[in-house]
Amino acid sequence: ETGVTQTPRHLVMGMTNKKSLKCEQHLGHNAMYWYKQSAKKPLELMFVYNFKEQTENNSVPSRFSPECPNSSHLFLHLHTLQPEDSALYLCASSQVLAGGLGKNIQYFGAGTRLSVL
Amino acid sequence: AQTVTQSQPEMSVQEAETVTLSCTYDTSESDYYLFWYKQPPSRQMILVIRQEAYKQQNATENRFSVNFQKAAKSFSLKISDSQLGDAAMYFCASTTGGSEKLVFGKGTKLTVNP
């Protein structure tokens, strides 16, 4: 079993649909992340959750709604998306120590390939 | 703000040969970390190697090593004895100490020819 598991692997949705992406980490980490990977662009950090509290929202449109019910699970709720939101969505986790003494190593899942029609 | 630049969109290497992937970065911080991640067709990003900025010694992991030039803000990855399984996208990334934010370059697609 991989350390970070994302489901589904592929998702096709219409612009009026509501869907959710799921991420689960089995590494005992306390921080989780959502990234967007579009073609020919650097990975874009979307959200950061540290100890279940959202610590970063990188100017992401409100049609993306994250949820972190506990330190092992992270969701990305999607509604009324646009075709330009089609991308690979990657989840990652890391262990963040007090005082910033962590190793800053993030472990990634295999992503969800999202296509918005 | 941190930036990471990878100037080689694609590279190729013959099996068993050595290849070097380039990366430059810009940061005003003194405490930061640099990474190389590999993304094979399976899409999962895998950490290849990590370098702490305060360490002068270049990091190595088996066939993978870095050339960390702090003054030049350069962080290149050398892959020795290339194998077919090394074919992937390689991303350079940086983060500052105590931050959870990873900043990535655009990536270099590495092809390994048999």
Residues 25-44 on A with a CB inside 8 Å of B are 31, 33, 40-43
Other Cβ atoms less than 10 A from the Cβ of A96: the count is 21
Length of chain A: 117
pLDDT for residue A111: 96
- The residue-averaged pLDDT of B67-78 equals 96
Instruction: Write out pLDDT tens, residues B19-66.
Output: 999 999 998 888 889 999 999 998 999 999 999 988 889 999 999 999
A114 burial type by CB count under 10 A (0-12 exposed, 13-18 middle, 19+ buried): buried
CA nearest neighbour of B74 among B24, B108, B34: B24
Tell me which residue in A45, A96, A103 faces B102 most closely, judged by beta carbons. A45
Tell me which residue in A50, A90, A103 faces B45 most closely, judged by beta carbons. A90
Instruction: Write out pLDDT tens, residues A73-115.
Output: 999 999 999 999 999 999 999 988 766 555 678 999 999 999 9
- The residue-averaged pLDDT of A15-22 equals 93
CB pairs under 8 A, 24+ apart, for B85-88?
A: B85/B40, B85/B112, B86/B38, B86/B110, B86/B112, B87/B40, B87/B111, B87/B112, B88/B38, B88/B39, B88/B40, B88/B41
Chain B nearest CA to A116, separation (Å): 19
- The residue-averaged pLDDT of A23-48 equals 92
pLDDT for residue B97: 67
Other Cβ atoms less than 10 A from the Cβ of A11: the count is 18
- Does pLDDT of B95 surpass 60? yes
Contact assessment for residue B90 and residue B21, using Cβ atoms and an 8 Å cutoff: yes
What is the sign, positive or negative, of the torsion defined by CA atoms of A99, A29, A51, B25? Answer: positive
pLDDT for residue A99: 60
pLDDT for residue A102: 57
pLDDT band at B4 (very low <50, low <70, confident <90, very high): very high
Are the beta carbons of A42 and B33 separated by less than 8 Å? no
A62 burial type by CB count under 10 A (0-12 exposed, 13-18 middle, 19+ buried): exposed
